Structure 1
Amino acid sequence: MSRDTPIPQQLNKFWASEKNKRNLQLLVRDIVCNNVCANHIIASSVLYDNEALPAITFCNEVIPELLNWIEEADARVVAHVEWAARIKQGQRVLLMSNDTDSFALLLHFTPQFQTLGMKEIWQQ
């Protein structure tokens, strides 16, 4: 799968394939990681068939602290936000998730993130 791959005609069959979903996630991660910008970008880990791919920065640097040692994806987000605030002094985080559990966890840990200098946490 690449940027030039045509959109399939039968999207229901496309989305039914775990391999297609994984390849799309990897493509998006590759696009984000290779997009040079001034801000620190963390392309989070992808989970597929119990295989965990490491979290990396936009320079394709593996982040050892963010290897998938946490099984639940909702809880893994907390470690990523904490790392961004503690190590990279990030002050703004945008989480892309439709899961209310992620929102609740981020809300719970907000005081800790604030002590690390985090000013904004957004969930789309």
Structure 2
Amino acid sequence: MSDVSERIAELSERARRDREAFEPPSDPPDEAAALEYLTDGAGAVVGLYVDARTGETVRFDEAEFALLERALNDWLELYAACYGVDIDASFTVREAAELLVDTHSIRDTAMLLTQVPERDTAEAWSGGR
């Protein structure tokens, strides 16, 4: 098993565990938890994809690609759930990677993909920044 394959398996397993252990916030939003799912989860998936595609050309097999996308979507669903929003995420890793390259922010990438939080709400929580 290559390093990339091992990393994919690790990310997939972590996403599964995070999903099973998830407890919705009693008073959404839980921005700290949402950001953790993005940086430690979705961001790691997209980062692995970008590194693999821009470094040595790595070809993901069908199973690896499916695991990457499931992990990404699991973490994006958990991110949204931290805001009290239930989504059925079905984004591609490539789509997320392209947005990350454009925005340089996994948080902005998640907001653009999921539309969570809504723009007015996000601006209010961030103090209009």
Higher Rg of the two aligned structures: 1
Bigger relative contact order, structure 1 or 2 (CA pairs below 8 A, ≥6 apart): 2
Q: Quick check: TM above 0.5?
A: no
TM-score by length of 1: 0.28
The structure carrying a bigger helix percent of its residues is 2
Q: Which is strand-richer, 1 or 2?
A: 1
